[in-house]
Structure 1
Amino acid sequence: MAPLNRTTHPAPALPERVLQFGTGVLLRGLPDYLIHKANQQGEFNGSIVVVKSTGGATDEFAEQDGLYTVVTRGVQKGQLVDKSTVVSAISRVISAQEDWKAVLDVAKKPSLQVIISNTTEVGIQYVEESIFQHPPQSYPAKLTAFLYERFKNFGGGRSKGLVVIPTELITDNGLKLRDIVEKIAIHNELGKLFMKWLKYHVRFCNSLVDRIVPGKPDAATREPLQQELGYTDKLMIMAEPYRLWAIEGDDRVKSVLTFAKADPNVIIDEDINFYRERKLRVLNGGHTISVPLAYLLGLETVNEMMQHPLLSRFVEDVIAQEIVPTLPVWMIPEENPNAVREFAADVLDRFRNPYIEHLLLSITLQETMKMKARNLPTIQRFVEQHQQIPQRMALGFAAYLRFMKAVRLEDGVYLGEVATPTGGIITYPIRDDYAEYFYKLWQQVDVHDAASVRNFVQTLCADTTLWEMDLSALTGFADAVADQLTNLLTLGIEATIERQVATAESTTSGSEIG
């Protein structure tokens, strides 16, 4: 078969309007894919120059003229999706290590409007260094050097300012990147005029990206796909159907990012906190509150969890009845009052994606930190709004405590154990910064004594150093968790879930306080 390139798949050569730092699959599966879609609809008419910041050759991109296939597979509105798209948005890829001058030359292009990055969370950090190295080491220093080159070339013209959109998964990524760039500019003594141009004519936008892009398919998956498509593609990637790119910006930003017109899943708003909060509580929180319970039951993947009759019911109900109602009404866009419930339906579709093997054990990494950030505010809001304890979340929290019960320390790793329904034993690593803390607390618990378990839960909930709040002050929460934990320890995982489901069917979502 012939390789994928612009000879076998002709594509228009468009002005280079975007500079992108990073060749990773998230960028190629979301921003680049969306820009390609916009180009097809005549909404942006711009291509992307990609900078490969890390070492390594760019031969694969050159051989394919920047083309690659995005294979979209998953579930959307209950229906299976399986389609392939040849993305032609990338014009070329430049190695920062091998040809930094070529990167700086892009700064001289009048057509350039946008800079995108995804250099991982550790990429947006301040490093005190000269921007006049070839190249600078850190991403912010590279960006500062590029912006300074553009400033010099165009004499600080306001029309040659840029929109900078980091997609790294940190809160306020745009503001943090701007602060670091300003600090680097001061350290390098780039002058007041550059600082003024940077302040008024370079717009740093916070952004939120949400799409699972597992990456390059394995050989067993790729070969039949290539046979079906009729070409070979070394850059092929997989992606789920769901996609969201929320960008914080005003009318000026909208006038530049015209690619947003081509897809309703690109949102430009002056405040994107709603989209971040919605994702954190519903998607991430739904994972965190459910996964320990599913893993303790002997399941391995999120898809298996959603195929299990008890667990799927638990996930659906905890999201719909105890998480969704707690998002503050004032945050929900007036033009779409159903935005949270619609997102929740999308989340359940994503959890059911049979093409993505999302391991439950991987999701339990730093479970304590995740529980604190994602679920405790939800529990607190539920209690304040309903004067009830969210019983499903209490069970999920109890399952988390059970998951954190290590039986031994081996080669520096705390190990937990749980019996399977078939009588076997699963041994699993507890990859959590608080593993030792929980190990010591569990040593004092008699799992056959309900009073001992209750004392353990009360002590844990009252630890304000750990939670940064007093969970024992949520009237009835510690008791509800203790009851569920006792059941998990004595009745077993499946019997406890069955009891909870039966109770939920005969009562309301929560149990009244007082």
Structure 2
Amino acid sequence: MTPLNRSNHPATIHPERVLQFGTGVLLRGLPDYLIHKANEQGIFNGSIVVVKSTGGATDEFAEQDSLYTVVTRGIQKGQSVDKHTVVSAISRVISAQDDWKTVLDVAKKPTLQIIISNTTEVGIQYVAESIFQNPPQSYPAKLTAFLYERFKNFGGGRSKGLVVIPTELITDNGLKLRDIVEKVAKHNELGKLFMKWLKYHVRFCNSLVDRIVPGKPDAESMQQQHKALGYEDKLLIMAEPYRLWAIEGDDRVKSVLSFAKADPNVIIDEDINFYRERKLRVLNGGHTISVPLAYLLGLETVNEMMQHPLMGRFVEEVITQEIVTTLPQWMIPEEKPDAVREFAADVLDRFRNPYIEHLLLSITLQETSKMRARNLPTIQRYLEQQQQVPQRMALGFAAYLRFMKAVRLEKSTYLGETALSTGGIVSYPIRDDYAEYFYTMWQKVDVHDAASVRNFVHAICDDSALWETDLSVFTGFADAVSEHLNNLLTLGIEATLERQMVSAESTTSGSGID
């Protein structure tokens, strides 16, 4: 089969305007894809020089002239999407380990404007090291060395400053990276003039990326894709239709990041906290409050959860009726009053994507910390606004407590058990820093005694050290959770869920809401 390259798929190579640290699928499936789309529209007209920061060869990129295919499959606005795009935005890929001098030479390019990175969350950490190594080990040191090379080459010219956009999934990633780079520069005694240039002419932007990019398909799926496309692409990746890149910046940043004009899903704003909060509460919180219940029900993937008649309805209702309504109005952009509800509809489409196998058990990793960060503020807001308990979230919280009920310890891992409706018992690992705490707490519970279950729930909710807040002030919440948990233990998972959905339907019908 014909391989993908620029001989059989001609593509323009634009001036190199972007340096990218990282060859990962998220970068290739979102920023690189978006820049390619802007180039197609004649808006940005720039290409990307990619630095492979870790070890490993760059042969696959060289063999394909840095072309690759993004196959976009999923559900969008209720419609099935299945399309492919040959991305030609990357001009070349350089190995930092093997050719650091060539990386530094890119700093001398007058056309360069932007630096992008995704080196994982671990990548943005301070390491006291020399930037004059070949190459430096940490990403911040590599970045500092590159910026220093550019500063020296252009004499600290203000017009040769850069916009730096980390996409690592940590809050305030731009500010944190800037602080580390300044610390590395001081450690290496790079001088006051460089520090001044760094402060005034290099702009570090916080950013938020949101797109599921599962990456390279398995061998069988890859063969099917090659057959459908009519060429072989070793770099082919899969991605969902939804995409968002929110970047914190002013008018100067907007002028440099002109590719943003090509896609409304690239947001440049002086404050992107709304987009972060929206994702945390609706997408992440929607997962966290639903997944333990779905897993205990015997389901395995997010798509299975959404296809289940009871669970699918539960997820939709807990998001649209209990989570969406709690985002503070002052946060929502005035020009986009429906931004939260529209995002919620997108989230439900994404959960229903049949082409992405997102395992429920994977999502339960560190469920306690996620519950604390993602859902407790939502529950508190709902109680304050509605003066009543969000019953679906209370059931989700009860299911989380039931999920954390370990029955034994094997090879340093606490294991829980759930009974399947088809018969049999499934054991599952509880991968949570608080697994031992919950194991100890559950030892005191008589699961056949409603009072014992209630005491357990109140003890958990009263533990302000665990939640970093006092849940006892959430009026009526602990009692509601106790009732749901008692039902889960005595009636079973599906019967409890069905009872809740019937109760919710009765409440809605009686309220006159249609």
One-letter code aligned to 1:261:
K
What does residue 66 of structure 1 align with?
66
Seen in structure 2, the aligned counterparts of structure 1 residues 509 and 293 have a Cα distance that, compared at 3 Å, is: farther
Which runs of structure 2 are paired with 1:440-459 in the superposition (5 Å)? Answer: 440-459=440-459
Determine if contact 1:162/1:203 at 8 Å carries over to the other structure.
yes
Equivalent-residue separation in structure 1 for 2:323 and 2:169 (angstroms): 22
Alignment of structure 1 residues 186-201 onto 2, 5 Å: 186-201=186-201
User: What residue ranges of structure 2 are gaps of 5+ in the alignment?
Assistant: none
Q: Report the Cα distance in structure 2 between the residues aligned to 1:348 and 1:76, rounded to whole angstroms.
A: 10
Residue 353 of structure 2 is matched in structure 1 by 353
Give per-residue Cα distances to partners, 1:390-427, cap 9 Å, x unaligned.
Answer: 00000000000000000000011000001110121010
Give the corresponding residue for 1:395: 395
Distance between the aligned counterparts of 1:509 and 1:428, measured in 2? 38
Q: Does 1:372 align with 2:372?
A: yes
* Aligned residue identity for 2:163: V
User: Which position in structure 2 is the counterpart of 1:485?
Assistant: 485
2-structure distance, mates of 1:509, 1:10: 60
What letter corresponds to residue 328 of structure 2 in structure 1?
A: P
What amino acid sits opposite 1:360 in the alignment? Answer: L
What secondary structure, in the 3-state scheme, does the structure 2 residue paired with 1:415 have?
A: strand
* Identical counterparts, % of pairs: 86
TM-aligned CA deviation for residue 225 of structure 1: 1.2
- Which AA in structure 2 matches 1:344? A
Q: Where in structure 2 are the equivalents of 1:72-83 lying within 5 Å?
A: 72-83=72-83
- 1:166 aligned onto 2:163: no
Are 2:36 and 1:36 aligned? yes
Q: CA deviation at 1:228?
A: 1.5
Write the deviation string for residues 131-190 of structure 1: whole angstroms up to 9, x where unpaired.
Answer: 000100000000000000000000000000000000000000000000000000001000
TM-score (norm 1): 0.99
**Alignment correspondent of 1:406:** 406
- Tell me the equivalent position of 2:262: 262
Give the Cα–Cα distance (whole angstroms) in 1 for the partners of residues 291 and 506 of structure 2. Answer: 25
User: 1:122 corresponds to which residue?
Assistant: 122
User: Matches of residues 1-150 of structure 1 in structure 2 within 5 Å?
Assistant: 1-150=1-150
Partner Cα separation in structure 2 for residue 497 and residue 382 of structure 1: 21
Q: What secondary structure does 1:428 align onto?
A: strand
Instruction: Give the number of aligned pairs.
Output: 511
- Which residue is 1:176 aligned to? 176
TM norm structure 2: 0.99
Task: For residue 384 of structure 1, report the CA deviation from its aligned partner.
Answer: 0.7
User: How far is 1:509 from its partner?
Assistant: 11
Query: In the TM superposition, what whole-angstrom CA distance separates every residue of 1:281-319 from its partner, at most 9, and x where no partner exists?
Result: 000000000000000000000000000000001000000
Q: Distance in 1 between matches of 2:140 and 2:185?
A: 10
Give the residue type in structure 2 aligned to 1:255: S
Alpha-carbon distance between aligned partners in 1 of 2:94 and 2:201, rounded to the nearest angstrom: 26
Structure 2: distance between partners of 1:438 and 1:229: 51
Deviation string 1:83-104 (CA, Å, 9 cap, x unpaired) is 0000000000000000000000
Amino acid across the alignment from 1:495: A
4+ residue segments displaced more than 3 Å = 508-511
Classify the secondary structure of the residue corresponding to 2:374.
helix
How has the CA–CA distance of structure 1 residues 123 and 509 changed in structure 2, closer, same or farther, with 3 Å as cutoff?
Answer: farther
Cα deviation, residue 473, structure 1: 1.4
Residue-by-residue CA offset, 1:331-353 (whole Å, 9 max, x unaligned):
00110100000000000000000
Q: Where does residue 248 of structure 1 map in the other structure?
A: 248
The 1-side partners of 2:510 and 2:117 are apart by 44
Which residue in 2 is equivalent to 1:296? Answer: 296
Query: Structure 1 residue 368: deviation in Å?
Result: 0.3
Q: Deviations over 1:221-264 (max 9, x none)?
A: 11121111111000000000000000000000000000000000
**What is the alpha-carbon distance in structure 2 between the residues aligned to residue 510 and residue 421 of structure 1?**
32
Q: CA deviation at 1:439?
A: 0.1
Query: How far did residue 510 of structure 1 move?
Result: 13
Gaps spanning 5+ residues in structure 1: where? none
**Where does residue 220 of structure 1 map in the other structure?**
220
Q: CA RMSD in A?
A: 1.0
Q: Distance in 2 between matches of 1:181 and 1:20?
A: 17
Query: 2: CA distance between counterparts of 1:183 and 1:43?
Result: 36
What amino acid sits opposite 1:361 in the alignment?
L
1:271-290 to structure 2, matched below 5 A, reads 271-290=271-290
Q: Following superposition of structure 1 onto structure 2, how do residues 418-433 of structure 1 map, counting pairs within 5 Å?
A: 418-433=418-433
Q: Distance in 1 between matches of 2:227 and 2:403?
A: 44
Question: In the aligned structure 1, how far is the partner of 2:474 from the partner of 2:164?
Answer: 43
In 2: Cα distance, 1:140 partner to 1:412 partner: 35
- In 2, are the aligned partners of 1:321 and 1:509 still within 8 Å (CA)? no
2:269 maps to a residue whose letter is: D
> 1: CA distance between counterparts of 2:508 and 2:234?
53
Rounded Cα–Cα distance in structure 1 between residues aligned with 2:101 and 2:326: 52
Q: Tell me by how many angstroms 1:508 deviates.
A: 4.6
Q: What is the correspondence of 1:312-351 to structure 2 with a 5 Å cutoff?
A: 312-351=312-351
Q: Tell me, what secondary structure is at the counterpart of 2:389?
A: strand
Check conservation: 1:391, 1:509, Cα contact below 8 A. Answer: no
